[in-house]
């Protein structure tokens, strides 16, 4: 494959991931879990893909931006929530590069994604005047559930699909 073909392939894959992120976020919202202090965004499972290739950073981040266009918190969530996603994904990517095996990379991704929910809790505390620690607990728990499920699914799917190339 030429360099241009590889670049186009990466853009197409990022677009597919962004679309999946949006669809899964909207599906979560059907159950009232897409936004707010209690959220289990199924789309956050896709964060685990970042351990395989940096191209997933853009797909997930763009998906988050598009999904947050429907956020009740408006432009703040579009900017702040999506920035939180971008920061967490970059850190997951660089930490995973240093780890020896797939399981440790996935565990690190889940932990980092969960910890970084303090930024979402801070956003909700400032905008909605919610108690920070309880909001952090509920958002982090939702992230842990979603990313934990994602890590398990991606672990087994990666046995058949090469997410790295």
Does residue 10 belong to any structural domain of this protein? yes
Measured CA to CA, the distance from residue 25 to residue 73 in angstroms comes to 15
pLDDT in tens, the chain (165 residues): 798 989 999 999 999 999 999 999 999 999 999 999 999 999 999 999 999 999 999 999 999 999 999 999 999 999 999 999 999 999 999 999 999 999 999 999 999 999 999 999 999 999 999 999 999 999 999 999 999 999 999 999 999 999 998
- Residue 111: CB atoms within 10 A of its CB come to 14
Does residue 163 belong to any structural domain of this protein? no
Measured CA to CA, the distance from residue 120 to residue 132 in angstroms comes to 10
Does residue 38 belong to any structural domain of this protein? yes
Structural domain boundaries enclosing 124: 3-157
* pTM score: 0.95
Give how far Cα 149 sits from Cα of 87, 88, 128, 156, Å. Answer: 21, 18, 29, 11
Domain count along the chain: 1
Specify the CATH number for the domain of residue 119: 1.10.1760.20
Does residue 162 belong to any structural domain of this protein? no
Give residue 1's pLDDT: 77
3-state secondary structure of 162: coil
Does residue 165 belong to any structural domain of this protein? no
Does residue 90 belong to any structural domain of this protein? yes
């Amino acid at each position: 494959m030429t360099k241009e073909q590889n670049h186009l392939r990466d853009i197409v894959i990022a677009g597919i991931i962004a679309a999946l992120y949006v669809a899964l976020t909207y599906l979560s919202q059907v159950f009232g879990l897409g936004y707010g202090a209690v959220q289990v965004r199924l789309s956050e499972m896709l964060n685990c893909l970042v351990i395989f290739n940096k191209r997933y950073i853009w797909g997930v981040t763009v998906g988050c931006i598009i999904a947050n266009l429907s956020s009740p918190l408006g432009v703040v969530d579009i900017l702040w929530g999506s920035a939180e996603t971008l920061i967490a994904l970059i850190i997951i990517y660089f930490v995973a590069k240093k780890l020896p095996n797939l399981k440790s990379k996935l565990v690190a991704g889940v932990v980092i994604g969960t910890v970084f929910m303090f930024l979402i809790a801070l956003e909700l505390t400032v905008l909605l005047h919610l108690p920070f620690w309880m909001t952090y607990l509920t958002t982090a728990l939702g992230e842990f559930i979603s990313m934990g499920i994602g890590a398990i699914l991606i672990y087994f799917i990666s046995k058949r699909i090469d997410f790295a190339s």
